[in-house]
Amino acid sequence: MSEPGGRASSSPLLGGGPEPTLLDLSSPGRKAWSLPELDVPAQELDIDERREHAVRLSEVAEHDIVMHFTRLAHRNFAVDLGAYPLGSCTMKYNPKVADWTVDLFSELHPDAPPSTVQGAMEVLVEAERILCEVTGMYRATFQPAAGAAGELTGMMITRAYHTATGNPRSVMIVPDSAHGTNPASAALAGYAVREVPSNERGLVDLDALREMLDEEVAGLMLTNPNTLGLFEEDIIQIADAVHDVGGLLYYDGANLNAILGVARPGDMGFDIVHSNLHKTFATPHGGGGPGSGPVAVTKELAGFLPGPLPVRDDQGQLYWEMPRNSIGRVHSRHGNFGVVVRALTYMRALGTAGLRQVAERSVLNARYLAALLSDRYQMPYPAPCMHEFVTSAEGIKADTGVHAMDIVKALLDKGFHAPTMYFPLIVPEALMFEPTETQSRETMEAMAAAVNEIGEACYEDAESVEDAPVLTPVHRPDEAQAARQLNVTWFMEE
């Protein structure tokens, strides 16, 4: 049965009984594989290090496999099932046409000579052109396989740049509202991480930032709009202040969706920009990946990019060339190329006007949903939100004892995926909603109705919210036990 308003309405046929593991389904002698007979004369091979016993894998028939993984698919929420307002993750619709285009490139080996892979290299060139156009940068690499890999690459470029100018510098500044990957990436690149506080408007505290800035500061990592969904309105002053001490400005592209075709990080003063193709450019998230985190930089920094990069010769042929001062490789080949094909498909399908419309409608949806929730839930900051917003259930918690976690679990029972919870860390009982532009007005209204109903239930029947979810296959798994009695392979089953 389908319901209007982006609500997942089907539940597993068998009502949520546990699915056995493939090992439970295994029986010695069963098999699924099918290969032709060896067609060269078999020889006695002299191979060192031969294994002495068979590998330990399940033995199942093909139909067992199909049933098992199909039943498991039934136990998973997804964008293709219902609204997925997981803040900061941009869970928009992933166009199916990209499934078709990516298959055109599936048989290419990454080490084939350039003369035989000109089409694949053209994909990289065209996607790079559009990415630079949209971000206001000069050149880009697609090697980083995800956003965090892009961040680390950006930090390595920052280090290489400062090292080349004489002082490698030691400090990276990140806002207290930053994604966890920002401090983790900066630390992995060897920087001491300093947090700049947010002010009462939820924006970078410019005075506090100025006090932190000196010749040891290598740069500032910033998401704009920030993780509260607010545009950093002082961005020009922030950029000037960082540049005045010789630092670089790094743009975390997690929230690029909000400003596509409206504003460009390069025009704001950013020097290095990573984008998340799996967010902004509609490539599927795959249950956790693969993503793609291309890094684009200004002309001044282009020589430090990882390589090799595609370059065109006088005859118009593409070849690979390492940038002059390259930091080196950050991936074994060309990054998650298939994801780039999908993103390019999306970029060209939307075109100039379509990309701007993405920004407009993602912001419109977020602002509309926020308006529909603002009677029941606190909006901790006054500024209008961009493509996502953070609301707080602190008032509800104070009044009723119900936590943001409970509200989120109750929303699962109502057929919606949860918003991001308890992030950013500076907002207590945070619920971060990002509806994206591909959800309809009716979905915003249905979701708001569901969230508001839960808010009311906190006051009228708190226990029902604290008991949620009840319709899902499992209910509040014991995470402490998972960590204490580690069982991460079926060989560890008692």
Partner 1 sequence: MDFTPHTSEDLSIMLDRLDLEHIDELFSHLPMEVLVDRSPDVGRALSEPEVQRLLSSLADLNRELTCFAGGGFYDHYVSPTVRSLTARPEFVTAYTPYQAEVSQGILQVLYEYQSMVSGITEMDITNASMYDGATAAAEAVNLATVSTKRSTVWVSRGVGPRIRETIHTLAVTRGFEVVEHPLVAGHTVWETEAGEPPAAVVWAQPNYLGVVEDYDAAVRVAQDTGALGIVSYDPMTLGLLRSPGAAGVDIAVGEGQSLGSPMTFGGPGLGLFSLAREHVRRMPGRIIGKTVDRDGTPAYVMTLRAREQDIRRAKASSNICSNQALNAVAAAIQLAWLGPGGLKEVGEQSAQKAHYLAARLVELPGVHMANDASFVREFAVLLPIEPEAAIEGMAERGYLAGIPLSKDYPELPGGLLVAVTERRTKAELDGYVSALKEVVAHV
- Residue numbers 138-157 binding partner 1 by CB under 8 A: 145-149, 151-152, 155-156
Q: Which residues are CB-contacts of 47 (< 8 A; sequence separation ≥ 6)?
A: none
Asked whether the beta carbons of 436 and 92 are under 8 A apart, the reply is: yes
312 binds partner 1 (CB under 8 A): no
Q: Torsions phi, psi of 212, nearest 5?
A: -85, -15
With beta carbons less than 8 A apart as the criterion, state whether 278 and 284 touch.
yes
Instruction: Please report whether residue 76 would count as binding partner 1 according to CB under 8 A.
Output: yes
Of 342-401, binders to partner 1 (CB under 8 A) are 344-345, 347-358, 360-361, 363-365, 367-368, 371-372, 383-384
- Pick out residues in 449-468 that bind partner 1 (CB under 8 A): none
Count, residues near partner 1 per rule CB under 8 A: 200
The contacts of residue 471 (CB under 8 Å, 6+ apart) are 11, 412, 413
Selected from 83, 85, 102, 162, the binder of partner 1 by CB under 8 A is: 102
The three-state secondary structure class of 141 is strand
* C-beta of 1 vs 474, nearer to partner 1: 474
Q: Judge whether 236 and 243 are in contact, CB under 8 Å.
A: no
Q: How far is the CB of 218 from partner 1 (least distance, A)?
A: 12
Return the C-alpha torsion angle 453, 456, 461, 467, nearest 10: 50
Relative to beta strand 171-175, strand 217-223 is parallel
Enumerate long-range contacts of 99-108, CB under 8 Å, 24 or more apart.
Answer: 101/341, 101/342, 101/345, 102/338, 102/341, 102/342, 102/345, 104/341, 105/337, 105/338, 105/341, 106/338
> Is 2 near partner 1 (CB under 8 A)?
no
- CB nearer partner 1, residue 12 or residue 380: 12
Q: Is 94 in the site for partner 1 (CB under 8 A)?
A: yes
- Are the beta carbons of 198 and 383 closer than 8 angstroms? no
Among 14, 164, 398, 482, binds partner 1 (CB under 8 A): 482
- Nearer to partner 1 among residue 86 and residue 222 (C-beta): 86
Q: Does 227 bind partner 1 (CB under 8 A)?
A: no
Q: Residues 387, 257: contact at Cβ < 8 Å?
A: yes
Residue closer to partner 1 (CB basis): 398 or 403: 403
CB of 392 to partner 1, least distance (A): 19
> Residue 73 CB, nearest distance to partner 1 (Å)?
4
CB of 117 to partner 1, least distance (A): 5
| Contact positions with partner 1 (CB under 8 A) in 167-226 | 179-181, 183-190, 193
Q: Write each residue from 238 to 267 as x if it is in contact with partner 1 (CB under 8 A), else as -, in one continuous string.
A: -----------------------xxxx--x
CB of 453 to partner 1, least distance (A): 19
Give me 83's structure tokens.
Answer: 């609204």
